[in-house]
Amino acid sequence: MEMTMRWYGKKHDTVTLEQIKQSCYVKGIITTLYDKLPGEVWTLDEILAMKKEVEDAGLHLAGIESVNVSDAIKTGAPERDKDIAAYIETLENLGKADIHMVCYNFMPVFDWTRTELARVREDGTTVLAYNQDTVDKMDPDNMFDSIKDNMNGTVMPGWEPERMEKVKELFELYKDIDEDKLFDNLKYFLEAIMPVCDKYDINMAIHPDDPSWSVFGLPRIISSQAKLKRMMEMVPNKHNGVTFCMGSYGTNLNNDLIDTIHMLKGRIHFAHVRNLRFNDGMRDFEESAHLSSDGTFDMYAIMKALHDTGFDGPIRPDHGRMMWGEKAMPGYGLYDRALGAAYLCGLWEAACKESK
């Protein structure tokens, strides 16, 4: 595995590449061309400039999170073929730039969903949290308004104001889309892009729905072992793979994470690793420190399962707590993610030694 950290680029991130490099544990960067809209082509020059910036800081560009998929592709609208052609051109350019992992999602309307971005813990750190009662009472049109004051002046990916202004229209677009249709549209998209992925050995890594169930009645299809199996079998190509985001699958305590890792053997191309703490069964959870004893999951068992199934892609600590007075994008400060990276490296080293 390669330990990485997500970085939003000089213009958007409060963390610098130099700081990440100094952590010593993190060798790779996961980034994106943040200002690109879904459906736009990423030119080779733009990609090479992004790569050079990362390499000049002594780090490796380990993959893209995300090349976003347009709503036309997700809903199967007539313009989808034009957007797929643009996506293929982007993949072609990424391949030419020697970039081989692309994370994306197929979630309608909202990307990840949380009801609080700064829930205060007893120790004064703050974390992202989800409460089902709050969601049940919420008008989805106002979801953005209710969280934007907690963004610490940053723009959070998946929650861009321009996108959130159109929430009503977006709901309208998805009104006839059920799970089967969403699966069909995903299959159509994947079949179209597999040839370019085969040509350049690009691993596509779909991000799961977060949380792992339907919100506001929208269909969400990457949320359980059975649905993952359906996704893998409908396009049986190793480049059709997944981002194993344990904090997303883990929101549903019925998901057996270790078993899922084993089922996905060879198809996990990217891993996001974080722990969760549940307060009211699955109706209320918060993102704890990475440490096993701070949350619900046995983090060593997760790292060992990844190790034992031969995972060799990029991995990143996921959302961290906000601590030590840092002001950053919620979940994406430097301090707690650096602690997470160091901890995960330690667990990985133990798993390697144990297997010898």
Judge whether 126 and 89 are in contact, CB under 8 Å. no
* 7 binds ligand DNO, rule: CB under 6 A: no
**Distance in angstroms (rounded) separating the CA atoms of residues 356 and 347:** 15
Q: Which of 209, 319, 335, 336 is catalytic?
A: 319
> Which one among 157, 313, 314, 340 touches ligand DNO, defined by CB under 6 A?
157
130 is catalytic: no
* 219 binds ligand DNO, rule: CB under 6 A: no
- Identity of the residue, 39 or 157, whose beta carbon is nearer to ligand DNO in the bound complex: 157
Distance of CA 241 to the CA centre of its chain: 13
SS (H, E, C) 68-137: CCCHHHHHCCCCHHHHHHHHHHHHHHHHHCCCCEEEEECCCCCCCCCCEEEEECCCCCEEEEEEHHHHHH
- Identity of the residue, 246 or 306, whose beta carbon is nearer to ligand DNO in the bound complex: 246
- Identity of the residue, 207 or 304, whose beta carbon is nearer to ligand DNO in the bound complex: 207
The number of residues that bind ligand DNO (CB under 6 A) is 12
* 147 binds ligand DNO, rule: CB under 6 A: no
* 286 binds ligand DNO, rule: CB under 6 A: no
For residue 73, which of 83, 65, 64, 63 has the smallest C-alpha distance? Answer: 83
174 is catalytic: no
- Identity of the residue, 205 or 351, whose beta carbon is nearer to ligand DNO in the bound complex: 205
Judge whether 47 and 93 are in contact, CB under 8 Å. yes
Distances (CA, A) of 118 to 6, 138, 248: 20, 18, 18
> Which one among 111, 116, 287, 336 touches ligand DNO, defined by CB under 6 A?
111
Range 76-105, binding ligand DNO (CB under 6 A)? 103-105
- Identity of the residue, 66 or 93, whose beta carbon is nearer to ligand DNO in the bound complex: 66
* 304 binds ligand DNO, rule: CB under 6 A: no
**Distance in angstroms (rounded) separating the CA atoms of residues 321 and 67:** 26
Range 195-214, binding ligand DNO (CB under 6 A)? 207
- Identity of the residue, 54 or 351, whose beta carbon is nearer to ligand DNO in the bound complex: 54
3-state helix, strand, coil in the chain (%, to 5): 40, 15, 40
Range 235-274, binding ligand DNO (CB under 6 A)? 245, 272
Q: Which of 83, 209, 318, 336 is catalytic?
A: 318
Please count the other Cβ atoms lying within 10 Å of the Cβ belonging to residue 296. Answer: 13
Q: Which of 103, 197, 245, 345 is catalytic?
A: 245
* 113 binds ligand DNO, rule: CB under 6 A: no
Q: Is 254 helix (H, G, I), strand (E, B) or coil?
A: coil
Q: To the nearest whole angstrom, how small is the minimum distance from the Cβ of residue 101 to ligand DNO?
A: 12
Calculate Rg over the CA atoms of the chain: 19
* Residue 277: Cβ-neighbour burial (10 angstroms; 0-12, 13-18, 19+): middle
In the 8-state DSSP scheme, what is residue 312?
Answer: -
318 is catalytic: yes
Residues with active-site annotation: 207, 245, 272, 318-319, 332
Residues lying near ligand DNO in the complex (CB under 6 A): 65-66, 103-105, 111-112, 157-158, 207, 245, 272
